[in-house]
A and B are shown apart, each in its own frame.
Chain A
Amino acid sequence: MTDFSQALSAASSGMRAQAARLRYTSENIANTDTPGYHRKTISFQAEVENGRPSGAVVTGPVRLDQSDLATIYDPSHPLADENGNYDGSNVNLLFEIADAREAQRSYEANLKVFDQIRQMSQGLMDLLRK
């Protein structure tokens, strides 16, 4: 059974990591028009337990994308400087949508594996039934 429980924990860690990624992606999309917003990114790392890789995945710390903010020309904006420009966010919607789509695909793959493991252990339990 340890193989199954290890597999289940790996699959659930994958789903947790992809969900966290999707969360930051949606935060970025929600703040596309927020002046001065830097997009958030997280990294994935293989989890290490007692010096050995456990097979699960964990998310690293949240980092802010330090690329340049978009300069938007709007003299009527309250934050505009003497030239009529203000800093927008550095969110690129194209990146965010692609990222969200990839997270969704990986989440589905993990879910499918989880279901498959569940069915396999269910088959094992059925042997005991009669």
Chain B
Amino acid sequence: MYESLDLFQTSAAMARHAGARQALVAENIANADTPGFRARAIGAFSETYQANAVQAMRTTRAGHLRADASPSAARPVMTDDEPSPNGNSVSLEQEMLNGVEVAREHSRALAIYKHALGIIRTSLGR
């Protein structure tokens, strides 16, 4: 049971990731008419998670150096969309699509968390 706390960590990181993505979507839409503004975005959680898994170091003893196991925050990157004549590269349609994707990612993370919580509750007999 103890190892599956990993599930909580991962789903919490996923929810946090969705929150960070949503913040970027909100910023992009707020600045949809700002001249010279470049849209920024973070990739999906699965990409970030895979990138993290590759860097993880193997440890065989407790004293070994170890990388932070929790998935780290992803860095926002500028999207390479073609900017409009005033230098703004925000596409409202793309942002709407990202927003929906983020909302789904977030509710998926919360559902996983909730079910893991349910399993622990059941095993405790409550």
**Chain A proximity of B113: nearest CB distance (Å):** 7
| A7 to B117 Cα, complex, angstroms | 28
Task: Say whether A116 contacts B23, CB under 8 Å.
Answer: no
Stretch of A8-16, A26-34, A73-81, A87-95 that contacts chain B: A8-16
Tell me if B's interface is mostly helix, strand, loop or mixed: helix
Q: Which of B15, B30, B107 contacts A110 (CB 8 A)?
A: B30
A55-B32 in contact given A120-B18, A120-B106, A127-B110 (Cβ < 8 Å): no
Given known A-B contacts A3-B16, A119-B103, A55 and B33 have beta carbons under 8 A apart: no
Please tell me the size bucket of the interface on B.
Answer: 20 to 34
| Residue B35 at the chain A interface, CB threshold 8 Å | yes
Specify the chain A residue showing the minimal Cβ separation from B27. A55
Task: Please measure, in the bound complex, the distance between the C-alpha atom of A7 and the C-alpha atom of B26, giving whole angstroms.
Answer: 5
Tell me, rounded to whole Å, the shortest Cβ–Cβ distance linking A49 to chain B: 13
The DSSP consensus for interface residues of chain A is helix
Contacting pair A113 B29 (CB below 8 A) = yes
Which residues of B have CB within 8 Å of A124?
15, 110
Question: Which residue of chain A lies nearest to B113 when distances are taken between CB atoms in the complex?
Answer: A127
Using a Cβ–Cβ cut-off of 8 Å, how many residues does chain A contribute to the interface with B? Answer: 35
Chain A neighbourhood of B26, CB < 8 A:
6-8, 10-11, 14, 55, 110, 113-114, 117
For residue A108, give the distance in angstroms from its CB to the closest CB of chain B: 10
On chain A, the residues within 8 Å of B32 by CB distance are: 14, 106, 109
With a cutoff of 8 Å between Cβ atoms, the chain B residues found around residue A119 in the complex are: 103
Q: How far is the CB of B108 from chain A (nearest CB, A)?
A: 11
Contact flags (1/0) for A112-130 with B, using CB distance below 8 Å? 1110110110011011000
Docked complex Cα distance between A102 and B30 (Å): 13
From A6, A11, A120, A126, B29 is in contact (CB under 8 Å) with A11
Residues of B within 8 A of A102 (CB): 33
Q: State whether A10 touches B23 (Cβ < 8 A).
A: yes
Q: Which 7 A-B pairs have the closest CB atoms?
A: A14-B30, A55-B27, A3-B19, A7-B26, A7-B23, A10-B26, A44-B34
